[in-house]
Structure 1
Amino acid sequence: MAETAPKKQACPGSCHCGFTQYIILLTLPQPFSSSNPPQPTQQQIYRCNCTTCYKLNLFHVHPANLREDFMLLSPLDPDQDLSTYQCYDKKRKFYFCPKCGVRCLTFGGVGETEVVDLTELAGTKDGKREVWRAKWGGESDTTTYVSVNGTTIDYREDFDLRALTEEKRVQYFDDRTEPEEKKKEVRWDRPHYGGSY
């Protein structure tokens, strides 16, 4: 069977109870691997070995365009309606559903609500709908960060976390290195010390 050419697709996701719902636009099948690594401005699928990501068992999916490729459908005020956890420098928020406890996203920066036409974008009949998304500060914006937990993306055959791991399409970052040490290079075959597959 011939491999499908990668194309951008709307991938819905949610927490377990459905209170938190989002759409992330991803290029699938995942075009990047150890032989073709992504650039920082491209979609990334990764795990890191920091204590937070390890304890929360996070499987980061970082969209290519932080503003255009992620939309929170529910709730529209995550700071008010979702629970948050912050650690280290407190620049990023790990958002949790207050009902079922599932963490769907990590966000850093400023968010805003706006009306988006989901008809063509997500292939739905929803039409125009209010969503919450990153407010982009321009090309020099280094504070905006968006990542969804890959385990909360609704099941689809072209986004199989096991297959992505086996095909070496998941990056493993080292974030446990002491500040005075040099960080280790990104791996594609196995996690760094203290990380999860």
Structure 2
Amino acid sequence: MSTPNTYHGSCHCGTIQYQIRLTFPPTPDPNAESIRIYKCNCSPCRKMGFFHVRPISPAADFIVTAPATIAELGDYRVNDKKIGWYFCKTCGVRPFAVAGAWEQVDLDVAEWAGKEGDGKTQKVWRTKPADVQATVEGKQVTKNMHYVSVNAVTLEPREGEGDNGVDLREWHDKGWIFYVESRTGSGGSKVRFGEPHHGGMY
């Protein structure tokens, strides 16, 4: 497997700052250990224009470096209120969605990002699994849930040669984006490459 690269992301005004480690290219095999790049046609994703990119390990590959507390973020809950679609209360941009629990840790961010660390740590937020109540075949069950998806349009763009930002055109041109059918409720999400499902977006 390739070595992951670290990418920076933020809301428009910079109040929210995060970093994510992504290993390219993704693989279309749903059972493979891979990042996921997709667009979903469910009502929240469609109306928010959310462009999903998910790391291989939610706990290890995603950190929030600002603001100082998660309580400073707006948190809109859907999907039986299990997933928080976090947004900036100043500029309104929605950088990521999380299902699970938050924990604050001291981290050498440079070392985490694959650079030479200097031993200095800072407080960052990362996620971990959490138990949630769910209804399965009419019964209440406890499920362990952990989900992190960043909105790809909030990643810093590549500005020039050697820049470590992202070029979203590349993801399209290489056929890395898949589309999820979540509107029909037909017992599980259907995925495909090439074109969106009904009501979805390119």
Give the shorter-chain TM-score range. Answer: 0.7 to 0.9
C-alpha deviations, 1:150-176, integer Å up to 9, x for none? 000111267322221232101111110
For normalisation by structure 1, the TM-score amounts to: 0.84
Give the direction of change, closer, same or farther, for the CA distance of 1:142–1:47 in structure 2 (3 Å limit). farther
Give SS of 1:191's match. Answer: coil
Cα deviation, residue 55, structure 1: 0.5
Task: List alignment gaps of at least 5 residues for structure 2.
Answer: 131-142
Partner of residue 154, structure 1: 156
The amino acid that maps onto 2:96 is L
Q: Is the 8 A contact 1:118 1:124 kept in 2?
A: no
Cα deviation, residue 38, structure 1: 4.8
Q: Is the 8 A contact 2:38 2:51 kept in 1?
A: yes
Q: Is the 8 A contact 2:156 2:166 kept in 1?
A: no
Cα deviation, residue 17, structure 1: 0.4
Give SS of 2:157's match. Answer: coil
Partner of residue 196, structure 1: 201
For normalisation by structure 2, the TM-score amounts to: 0.82
Partner of residue 127, structure 2: 134
Give SS of 1:32's match. Answer: coil
Partner of residue 112, structure 2: 121
Point out the structure with the larger strand share: 2
Give SS of 1:86's match. Answer: strand
Give the direction of change, closer, same or farther, for the CA distance of 1:162–1:69 in structure 2 (3 Å limit). same
Q: Is the 8 A contact 2:129 2:145 kept in 1?
A: no
C-alpha deviations, 1:3-25, integer Å up to 9, x for none? xx943011011000000000000
Task: List alignment gaps of at least 5 residues for structure 1.
Answer: none
Identity %: 38
Cα deviation, residue 183, structure 1: 4.6
Aligned equivalents of 1:101 and 1:124: distance in 2? 35
Give SS of 1:132's match. Answer: strand
Match of 1:96 among 69, 87, 100: 87
Cα deviation, residue 182, structure 1: 4.6
The amino acid that maps onto 1:187 is R
Aligned equivalents of 2:127 and 2:96: distance in 1? 12
- Which stretch of the first structure deviates more once superposed, 123-132 or 103-112? 123-132
Aligned equivalents of 1:66 and 1:101: distance in 2? 24
Give the direction of change, closer, same or farther, for the CA distance of 1:148–1:124 in structure 2 (3 Å limit). farther
Aligned equivalents of 1:160 and 1:194: distance in 2? 25
C-alpha deviations, 1:21-46, integer Å up to 9, x for none? 0000011xx3125xx43536531111
Partner of residue 106, structure 1: 97
Q: Is the 8 A contact 1:91 1:108 kept in 2?
A: yes
Give the direction of change, closer, same or farther, for the CA distance of 1:98–1:40 in structure 2 (3 Å limit). farther
Give the direction of change, closer, same or farther, for the CA distance of 1:187–1:71 in structure 2 (3 Å limit). same
Q: Is the 8 A contact 1:60 1:150 kept in 2?
A: yes
Aligned equivalents of 1:125 and 1:73: distance in 2? 16
TM-align CA RMSD:
2.4
- Which stretch of the first structure deviates more once superposed, 101-110 or 117-126? 117-126
1:45-124 aligned within 5 A? 45-78=37-70, 80-122=71-113, 123=115
- Which stretch of the first structure deviates more once superposed, 104-113 or 121-130? 121-130
Partner of residue 16, structure 2: 20
